[in-house]
Amino acid sequence: MKRISIVASVFKMYLLQMIRSRGFFVRGLVFAPIWAISYYYSMKVFSPESSVITSKILLGLILWIWLYDSVWDVSNCLSSEKKLERIDHIFLTERKTSWVLGMSFALTLFQLLNLAVVWIVISFLFGMVLSANPLVIVLLLILGIITTSSLSMFAASLSFRMRSHVNSLSIILDILMLVCGVVYPVVLFNPALRYLSYTLPVTIMIEMAGMDNMSITSGFLIRLAICIIESLVLFGLALKSIDHAERKAMENDSLSRH
């Protein structure tokens, strides 16, 4: 219970900072027209007959941006805590797990809020309606936050251990984006790559969002369970990786000095 309250407190503080940074409004306003134009052209290119297909194109784009921006933000946040050497104070509290969880949830939700602004603008301009069970939408959003933050934390924790943060993050992100099925559908992959892709919870979440009938079926629930298990494994791996980084720093004094 205490840990949950610490995570909630960290979550609140980071979200507060993100909203106060004014980036929320600026990014929403800048991205919305760009998105609206790209959406308009993507509709023209694909000439969709049904609004479900166009919704899926949009959903794919939104997921892509959400994942990419979240991973960048979580990683940049870790990097800036490192650069400002605030990380030493955080580690001295012995609550780094709660801190990392709270921080990545906050940044992922912040990205979602950003995208919500874009979505509202596009819906207003094009009269776009996503036809789905509202409960499924809520479930997918929660799942999206969990899977995206687990992937963000995992990618960020790997780059956290590397000397050149930006370069290593770009490589890690590109590989993850290719493998998780956001850029290319998983059905196009060869079997080996497909298995690898399904080890990432985001892949399953994307598949769930793309299901023709977005309602709670047994297939949906199985995917939900797998997705949650995989997310927990990713969180665990990310925390192990940060622990390892701390241990290495104790030996080399390099954590806050890269």
Partner 1 sequence: MADIITIEHLSRDYVVGPGKKVHALKDVSISIRRGEYFGLLGPNGAGKTTLIRIITSLLAPTEGDVFLNGSRSSEYRQQIRKSIGVVFTGKRSHYGLLTANENLFFWASLYGLEKRVARPRIDSLLKEFGLSEVGDQRTETFSTGMLQRLNLARALLNEPEILILDEPTNGLDPEAARNIKAILASLRKRNLTVIYTTHNLGDADDLCDRVCIIDHGELIAIGTPSELKRRVGKEIVELTLEGNADQTKETMRADGWELTIGDHCERFRKEFVDFSYDELREIERRMPSISITNVERIHPTLEDVYIKITGKRGS
- In the complex, the residues that contact partner 1 under the rule CB under 8 A are 2, 5-6, 9-10, 13, 16-17, 20-21, 84-86, 88-95, 98-99, 249-253, 256
Q: Which is nearer to partner 1, 10 or 143 (CB)?
A: 10
The C-alpha angle 200, 228, 206, rounded to 5 degrees, equals 50
Contact 192, 110 (CB under 8 A): no
Region of residue 94 (left: phi > 0; alpha: psi -120 to 50; beta: else):
left
Q: How far is the CB of 108 from partner 1 (least distance, A)?
A: 19
Q: Which is nearer to partner 1, 168 or 256 (CB)?
A: 256
Q: How far is the CB of 242 from partner 1 (least distance, A)?
A: 15
Q: CA-to-CA distance for 134 and 72, rounded, in angstroms?
A: 29
Token pair 């050149």 is found at 164
Q: How far is the CB of 92 from partner 1 (least distance, A)?
A: 5
Q: What is the DSSP letter of 52?
A: H
Q: How far is the CB of 146 from partner 1 (least distance, A)?
A: 22
Q: Which is nearer to partner 1, 9 or 213 (CB)?
A: 9
Q: Which is nearer to partner 1, 10 or 204 (CB)?
A: 10
The residues near 210 (Cβ < 8 Å, ≥ 6 apart) are 56, 59, 60
Q: CA-to-CA distance for 1 and 18, rounded, in angstroms?
A: 26
Q: Which is nearer to partner 1, 190 or 252 (CB)?
A: 252
Cα–Cα distances in angstroms (integers) from residue 117 to residues 12, 30, 62, 74, 132, in the given order: 20, 10, 11, 20, 19
Q: How far is the CB of 254 from partner 1 (least distance, A)?
A: 10
